[in-house]
A and B are shown apart, each in its own frame.
Chain A
Amino acid sequence: MIEYRDVSKLYSEENIALIEVNIKIKSGEFVSIVGQSGMGKSSLLKLLTLEERPTEGRVIFNGVDLNEITKKEIPIHRRRIGVIFQDFKLLPQRTAFENVSFALEVAGEKPSKIKKSVSQILDIVGLSDKFKAYPVQLSGGEQQRVAIARALVNHPEVLIADEPTGNLDVINGREIIDLLLKINELGTTIILATHDKETVNRINKRVIVMDEGRVIRDQAKGKYMI
């Protein structure tokens, strides 16, 4: 479903983020990408959301070469992919409900459908009693749940999580990982970037290790090792 073919990314002559990366991800997989800071994890994910373009090689998504996607088509492409981040990226002036409904408004959905989908998804992430809360009134874990709900409300085939537990304490972090596992069981492909050992070991699924922009290990049921 997702394939990186000989992908290299250079931000400048000396600033090399990715070197000849080859990765294949099947639909329904849960893939953890690990590696120390600055090793190219985020860069890898940004090529998928088209925040960055590869310097060389190609990224294939559902049979489509992303190099072929024009600037105008990027918004449509992004609606097929859910993204969450370390810093949640919620709109502070909108309630939990509004933050999630926003992703559907952007896609031009009808109000009746928005109401139904958003309530449903907020139930799934366990926030049925926080619809009207603003981000500042929510804990870090709850904010990340809102972000997950927003990422999922468009029913994307893949959810990208870049360091989703980075700002959370251990308990909240575990809860978020468990939620991601549950979402994966329901059929969504998940790509997670992290440098947290405990997280990776808890998941106990495929692990790809990055070092200086290269893939140095790719194991089906891996532990975190460097």
Chain B
Amino acid sequence: MLRLSIIRAIKSGVNNFFRNGWLSITSVSVVSLTLFVISFLMSIVFVSNKLFTEIRNKIGVNVYLNEKADKEIASQMMEEISLMGGVTEVEYTDKKEALTSFKQKVKENDIIIQAIDELRENPLEDFISIKVKDPRKYEIIEGKLITGEFKDYILKVDYSEHKTEINNLDKILSSVTKAGLILIVFLVFVAVMVVLNSIRLTMYTHKIEIEIMRLVGAGNWFIKLPFITEGALYGLAASILVTLSLYPLAILLASALENSGLQLNPILLLNQTIIFAFLIHLLIGIALGIFSSYVAIQRYLRI
């Protein structure tokens, strides 16, 4: 008997969802808008994190060696560096290689090529390039190198030039993330209020229905369940809608980024995260719908 009642109540909720076309459209729109904004903010946080990691990875520190350092010394240094914590990459480039790759880079520019060729000696130095996971480590590594046993072989560490960039990047990243999270929390709160009130308004049209239900002896849960089901359906519909709407957006973004030179493909990124995105939308949407319906109906259930 209980199961029959539950199935009936859910069925009636589904029927109401389709029968009350306009009310459903309004509620679904409000929930969708909320999900969309949340989704948008989350993507900004996500994408900026990804972009920054990428930029960070491109930055490395080069340790230029002087005349006294031979290959033997260089490989000893590399070993020492790689033993320092957090180092992900250590690479040695001798000046011949450096020159070839430099020439490669400027091969269009005849004047520079000519100028280099006229020099009898290679103007470049051997260097070791270092990459670390956490850019804050660079400073420590630099300190260790210029005071350590190899200090006499080091011409310069070109770190200082990137120092401010790296630090700024880090600051921007953490404040973007923080601001994003605060905004999301704030928006979820606003959204709950908006959805609650809009469902409360639609509930008013159900007032007579609820009164009649009570008069024929419907129990509280029998009255609530259809509305809660309807609320869950608002969430379901909205999450499908918003997830699908991310595709045209990604395509737009992709064409905007096309010539920016950034290694970021929004469509590919979306394909990778679409299921996760949908689940998040579903979770937030349904929770929002159910919570709002539940609170909204509660006031019509006195007596």
In the complex formed, the residue of B with least CB distance to A84 is: B215
Q: Is A63 engaged at the interface, CB distance under 8 Å to the other chain?
A: no
On whether the beta carbons of B216 and A106 are closer than 8 Å, the reply is yes
On whether the beta carbons of A78 and B4 are closer than 8 Å, the reply is no
A89-B217 CB under 8 A given contacts A108-B2, A108-B4, A108-B5:
no
Alpha-carbon separation in the docked complex, A50 to B218 (Å): 14
On whether the beta carbons of B215 and A108 are closer than 8 Å, the reply is no
Alpha-carbon separation in the docked complex, A198 to B209 (Å): 32
Alpha-carbon separation in the docked complex, A122 to B208 (Å): 23
| Residues of A bordering B, CB below 8 Å | 49-51, 71, 74-79, 83, 89-91, 93, 102-103, 105-108, 110, 150, 154
On whether the beta carbons of A75 and B218 are closer than 8 Å, the reply is yes
Sample of 17 more A-B contacts, CB < 8 Å, known A50-B303, A89-B215: A74-B303, A76-B217, A77-B217, A78-B217, A89-B211, A90-B212, A91-B209, A93-B19, A102-B213, A102-B216, A106-B213, A106-B216, A108-B2, A108-B4, A110-B4, A150-B216, A154-B216
Q: Is B115 engaged at the interface, CB distance under 8 Å to the other chain?
A: no
A78-B1 CB under 8 A given contacts A51-B303, A89-B208:
no
Q: Is B278 engaged at the interface, CB distance under 8 Å to the other chain?
A: no
Q: Is B8 engaged at the interface, CB distance under 8 Å to the other chain?
A: yes
Would you call the interface of chain B mostly helix, strand, loop, or mixed? helix
A106-B215 CB under 8 A given contacts A89-B208, A93-B19:
no
On whether the beta carbons of A49 and B215 are closer than 8 Å, the reply is yes
Q: Is B222 engaged at the interface, CB distance under 8 Å to the other chain?
A: yes
Q: Is B219 engaged at the interface, CB distance under 8 Å to the other chain?
A: yes
Q: Which of B8, B215, B216 has the most CB of A within 10 A?
A: B216
Min Cβ gap B97→A in Å is: 80
Contact with A along B195-224 (1 / 0, CB 8 A): 000000000000011011111111110100
Residues of B contacting A78 in the complex (Cβ-Cβ under 8 angstroms): 214-217
A103-B216 CB under 8 A given contacts A51-B303, A91-B209, A93-B19:
yes
Query: Which among A75, A91, A105 is the interface contact of B212 at CB below 8 angstroms?
Result: A91
Min Cβ gap A98→B in Å is: 10
Min Cβ gap B91→A in Å is: 73
Min Cβ gap B55→A in Å is: 59
Residues of B contacting A89 in the complex (Cβ-Cβ under 8 angstroms): 208, 211-212, 215
In the complex formed, the residue of B with least CB distance to A147 is: B212
Min Cβ gap B22→A in Å is: 13
Residues of A contacting B211 in the complex (Cβ-Cβ under 8 angstroms): 89
In the complex formed, the residue of A with least CB distance to B212 is: A89
In the complex formed, the residue of A with least CB distance to B19 is: A93
Residues of A contacting B2 in the complex (Cβ-Cβ under 8 angstroms): 108
In the complex formed, the residue of A with least CB distance to B220 is: A75
Alpha-carbon separation in the docked complex, A49 to B303 (Å): 11
Alpha-carbon separation in the docked complex, A150 to B215 (Å): 11
Min Cβ gap B232→A in Å is: 20
Residues of A contacting B218 in the complex (Cβ-Cβ under 8 angstroms): 75, 106
In the complex formed, the residue of A with least CB distance to B2 is: A108
Min Cβ gap A214→B in Å is: 26
Contact with A along B1-15 (1 / 0, CB 8 A): 110110010000000
Min Cβ gap B206→A in Å is: 10
Contact with A along B110-130 (1 / 0, CB 8 A): 000000000000000000000
